Amino acid sequence: MAGRRPRQAATMGDVAKLAGVSISTVSHVLNKTRPVAPDTARQVHDAVAACGYVPEKVARHQHEGFGTIGLAMSAISNPYFGDVVHGLDRRAAKEGYSLLLAETHDDPDAELRAVGELLRRKVSAIVLAPSGNAERTLRYARQANVPVTVLDRFVRQEVDQIGVENVESTARLVDHLAELGHTRIAMISGRPGLSTTEERVNGYRLGLERGSIPVREEYLVSGDSQAAPAQQAVAELLSRSEPPTALVVGNNQMTIGTIRGLRDAGLRVPQDMALVAFDDFEWSDLFHPRLTAIAQPTLMLGEQAFELSLSRIADPGLPPRRVLIQPTFQHRESCGCDAAKD
């Protein structure tokens, strides 16, 4: 039987044809040599991902071990990733690698552009905290034959992935509130489409089920993983005819907005509203009352993400791996307990 013919590498002409633009326009978009209309630039980036086009200089050098790991994540807009980056950088430095960070803003289009830029910078591997729809980005990296480690949020694609257990740990927060006698427990959830949001919502529902507490959909409100929408979500919950007596918040940014919203309403924690959260703060002990939270091992996440990337560079034939790390329950006073008694 005749062997399969090797797939011919995509050219800039292929990208131009698919995008419906000239080759010079493609060059200007990729090399940033001239301003191009945003819609046209988006067409070009989409065509690059669809074709799997890799610039010649990238294709020539991407396996030569330049010692750079590309990070594509919302590190500027999401402070949680700061410690992850620190852990990754600390581990990479020991191995003589440097890091190159590209901001994604948790937006699929920005994410695709960020990864394209990292590939043009000839990185040896990419660590990606994916947006809610990272399929194009992952396909592009795969066609460019650059290893990718997905961080924090799991995806369906067969790639190396590492993240924190979210379901049972969120359920534990609800369990604790139920043990304290709360039955009107609401949740301010994260950005729709993220696996972490879905998993934490599932954990919220699981905790209610274990406490034999009926699920009230009006108690589940999105805070879009940001402070301002979370603050608005608090006002929405408090406007219910029967407002909740306890809140579960899906990440640290939303916790800030939640506290502001409760303050605006003149409510005290925990006297008027019990509060627990996913994501701990370095300064949670300085809150009054101190925050009961699920603490993610952010430094460990960064370090192990680098280990996965390094081993993938060394052995591209390894099967895809999925690493799940257990967070810890930090019991303090915002839930209404005297944590010192535990």
Q: How confident is the model at residue 29 (pLDDT cuts 50, 70, 90)?
A: confident
Amino acid at 250: G
Q: How confident is the model at residue 19 (pLDDT cuts 50, 70, 90)?
A: confident
What DSSP designation does 139 have? Answer: H
Q: Does the structure show a pLDDT above 60 at 64?
A: no
> What is the per-residue pLDDT for 68?
92
Q: Does the structure show a pLDDT above 50 at 6?
A: no
> What is the per-residue pLDDT for 26?
81
The mean per-residue pLDDT over the stretch 70-76 comes to 86
The lowest-confidence range among 18-32, 151-165, 209-223, 290-304 is: 18-32
> What is the per-residue pLDDT for 23?
79
Strand 292-295 to 328-330 pairing? antiparallel
The lowest-confidence range among 44-48, 140-144, 284-288 is: 284-288
Ordered DSSP codes for 246-306: EEEESSHHHHHHHHHHHHHTT--TTTT-EEEEES--TTGGGSSSPPEEEEP-HHHHHHHHH
> What is the per-residue pLDDT for 168?
98
The mean per-residue pLDDT over the stretch 17-23 comes to 84
Which residues lie closer than 8 Å to 63 by C-beta, 6 or more apart? 145
- Which of the pair, 78 or 217, is modelled with greater confidence? 217
Q: How confident is the model at residue 76 (pLDDT cuts 50, 70, 90)?
A: low
The lowest-confidence range among 68-77, 158-167, 301-310 is: 68-77
Q: Is the pTM of this model over 0.85?
A: no
> What is the per-residue pLDDT for 283?
65
Q: How confident is the model at residue 340 (pLDDT cuts 50, 70, 90)?
A: very low
> What is the per-residue pLDDT for 185?
98
- Which of the pair, 237 or 253, is modelled with greater confidence? 237
Q: Does the structure show a pLDDT above 50 at 65?
A: no
Q: Does the structure show a pLDDT above 50 at 102?
A: yes
- Which of the pair, 59 or 113, is modelled with greater confidence? 113
Is 72 exposed, middle or buried, given 0-12, 13-18 or 19+ CB atoms closer than 10 A? buried
| Mean per-residue pLDDT of the chain | 87
- Which of the pair, 284 or 193, is modelled with greater confidence? 193
> What is the per-residue pLDDT for 269?
96
Q: Let me know the angle formed at the C-alpha of 153 by 148 and 157, rounded to the nearest 5 degrees.
A: 50
Q: Does the structure show a pLDDT above 50 at 62?
A: no
What domains can be seen in the chain, in order of their start residue?
A: 10-53 (1.10.260.40), 167-296+329-341 (3.40.50.2300)
